[in-house]
Amino acid sequence: MHDLARKPPVTALDNDAVSREFSAWIARKARLRHINVAIAILILIGLGLIPLISQGTYAYARYGVALAYVMAAVGLNLAIGFTGELVLGHAVVMAAGAYAAGMLSAHAGVSFPFAVLGGIAGGLAAGAAVMLPGLRVRGWYLALITMFAVLVLPRVVVLTEHWTGGEFGLTGIQPPSFLGYLLSDWVLYEVTLLLLALVGLLVANLVRSGWGYRLRAVRDIGTASAAIGLRPNRIRFTVYLLAAGPAALAGALQAFTDAFVNADSFGISLTLLLLTGVMLGGAGTLWGPIVGMAPLIALSFWVGPFSVYNAVALGAGLLISAIVVPDGFVPLIRRWVSRRTPSSAVADSMPVAPVGDSGSGNPSIRTRREFGPEILKARGVMKTFGGVRALQGIDMSIRQGELVGLIGPNGSGKSTFLNVLSGFIAPDAGDIRYRDADVTGWRVDELALAGIGRTFQVPQLIDELTSLENIEIGLVGHENSDLISAVLRLPRDIARERRRRTAALEIFRAMRFAPETLGRPIAELSLGFKRIVEIGRAAVSKPTILLLDEPAAGLNEKERQDLGDRLQELAAQGITILVVEHNVPFVLRICDSLMLLENGQVTCRADLDEALPERLETYLRHDPTPTTQKVES
């Protein structure tokens, strides 16, 4: 146990500790990566040697198709695991890849590599079409709609039997050849294996890049991701294509492996197989689809691919995984390993060091600052919800560099106003000017990129990532998002990663986070800490204005003081802050000025170093009970 308050206050020592912790964390990640690569290479060698022990066209076809299934599961995991999109149409994507490649080869005599490319294109098109509803609907609706595509597939195949061979299947696929050489069965198997390894590598790179943050942001912080400058639907659409890619390639390879395509191979059982594989292994982990598919495939080899027990075994697998290992095997193994390697404890409920020598709670920290021009102005802002007039013509302005407290009884419209300012709610009337532009009606992500940041009452963070990574996420919306450099891990992408990390470390130091929290998953830390991490995420992109909705709600006294210190620190760095808060001592301690919102109108506004107007004085004295609404006389 250590007491952070007894540590020497903010010195270079602390920063050294941060550097040490950072290096240790990076080293840990690198070590883990090396282990993973070593395991992957061993598995590849093992699988590559299979033709030595098991031969014959039939055996190769079985193993080749098994690899194709794993490949498709890797794609599915990108959508369902990393991005949290419940899409179940991957069997259709595989079918489209298989039919497109097969038809190009059988009907047009297109050579193997180009037929595979055609298959990928066909699968991507099908994937985009099937998953497109995901831009409008979520959750089980999306699952059902995509599942519907799987049910419809055999009909479509029959309707187009002139090309697809209908119920009899597509035949006449040419044996694969490359540069004039005929690829024998085992070579095709090895090619499939290499392509699976390549897909795995590209996906690992993708998930490690800023895109890994984008996908998880869509999954875990939903609409709030727009507040850090991301466009969730754009990311979703990209993910649909990215997730369809491996499945499309897998389908195309399967067409050549089997030299035959039949809609029956791409039905509900394949859907179930892929889904079970991803869930059993651990959705949203790199190894998940591989670890999960392996036992299922082994099982189907054992009972025979055409056995009726296959579907039963899959159903049982899904049941067991849901009950015994709800997050899958990989997270289970991870937890088991991390339990055996104890990490340093974070003893304090608020793992941050105090700011300044005097510790916290000293009102004299506030020094009179000179404010710049008015940078955010609202005029006549109105908003009605049904019959409730939440905002009734708000007029106000904020000067650059100011720390403004927005106070007022519950239901007076504070959150609504913040939502209007950050673009989450469009006002019915009135306008908002930011700097010299009329920003009324701008999208959330546009406002975020223009420098209006915000946090949420319930911190919107990515639980599995560390505090440092969660701060980094504040930057991905501001940087170039090109996929090529991400999946190939080009120097450009590595440079981006370095920039993000440096900026996040700077915030980590500036906000005096305890070093030992750096490499910790955020889920393990307290609410108070999460609140300041979220503020750190908003601050890392150097916003002009920060809008904070009740950041101190639910915090204890010590946490609240720590939070106040952080806010003053940010204000001192020149960030303008508008903070909604109930707690009167808190706002009196940290704010430069106060704005009183009552019944959807700003009724008072005053600088705190001048005499307060009577109305504000009265409000502050009668510590407002949150449940009673003040009514205008």
Residues 388-427 that bind Mg ion (CB under 5 A): 415
The residue with tokens 């913040």 is: 418
Of residues 291, 280, 249, 243, the one with CA closest to residue 84 = 243
238 binds, among Mg ion, ligand ADP, none (CB under 5 to 8 A by kind): none
Cβ nearer to ligand ADP, comparing 48 with 411: 411
Cβ nearer to ligand ADP, comparing 310 with 455: 455
The 448-467 contact track toward Mg ion, x by CB under 5 A, reads --------------------
Residues 395-424 that bind ligand ADP (CB under 6 A): 408, 410-416
105 binds, among Mg ion, ligand ADP, none (CB under 5 to 8 A by kind): none
Cβ nearer to Mg ion, comparing 415 with 481: 415
Does 285 sit near Mg ion (CB under 5 A)? no
Least Å distance between CB 391 and Mg ion? Answer: 13
62 binds, among ligand ADP, Mg ion, none (CB under 5 to 8 A by kind): none
359 binds, among Mg ion, ligand ADP, none (CB under 5 to 8 A by kind): none
DSSP 436-448: TEE-TT--HHHHH
Q: How far is CA 88 from CA 48, 92, 142, 199, 243, in A?
A: 30, 9, 8, 20, 11
Least Å distance between CB 625 and ligand ADP? Answer: 13
Q: What are phi and psi of 394, to 5 degrees?
A: -85, 130
Cβ nearer to ligand ADP, comparing 480 with 629: 629
Binding-site size, ligand ADP (CB under 6 A): 11
Residue 428 near residue 384, CB atoms below 8 Å: yes
Distance CA 102, CA 257 (A): 11
**Cβ contacts of residue 373 below 8 Å, gap of 6+?**
399, 400
Least Å distance between CB 414 and ligand ADP? Answer: 3
390 binds, among ligand ADP, Mg ion, none (CB under 5 to 8 A by kind): ligand ADP
119 binds, among ligand ADP, Mg ion, none (CB under 5 to 8 A by kind): none
Give bridge partners of residue 70 from the DSSP assignment: none
Least Å distance between CB 569 and ligand ADP? Answer: 26
Cβ nearer to Mg ion, comparing 314 with 602: 602
Residues 454-483 that bind ligand ADP (CB under 6 A): none
Distance CA 541, CA 228 (A): 9
Residue nearest to Mg ion (CB): 415
Residue 584 near residue 623, CB atoms below 8 Å: yes
Of residues 237, 215, 124, the one with CA closest to residue 487 = 215
Least Å distance between CB 559 and ligand ADP? Answer: 21
The 369-398 contact track toward ligand ADP, x by CB under 6 A, reads ----------------x--x-x--------
Q: Which helix (H) or strand (E) holds 595?
A: strand 593-598
Least Å distance between CB 549 and ligand ADP? Answer: 7
Of residues 202, 188, 239, 266, the one with CA closest to residue 81 = 239
Q: What are phi and psi of 452, to 5 degrees?
A: -105, 105
Q: How far is CA 189 from CA 49, 118, 286, in A?
A: 11, 20, 23
Cβ nearer to Mg ion, comparing 439 with 597: 597
Q: Which helix (H) or strand (E) holds 547?
A: strand 545-549
412 binds, among ligand ADP, Mg ion, none (CB under 5 to 8 A by kind): ligand ADP
Residue 473 buriedness (CB in 10 A; 0-12 / 13-18 / 19+): buried
48 binds, among ligand ADP, Mg ion, none (CB under 5 to 8 A by kind): none
Contacts with Mg ion by CB under 5 A lie at: 415
Contacts with ligand ADP by CB under 6 A lie at: 385, 388, 390, 408, 410-416
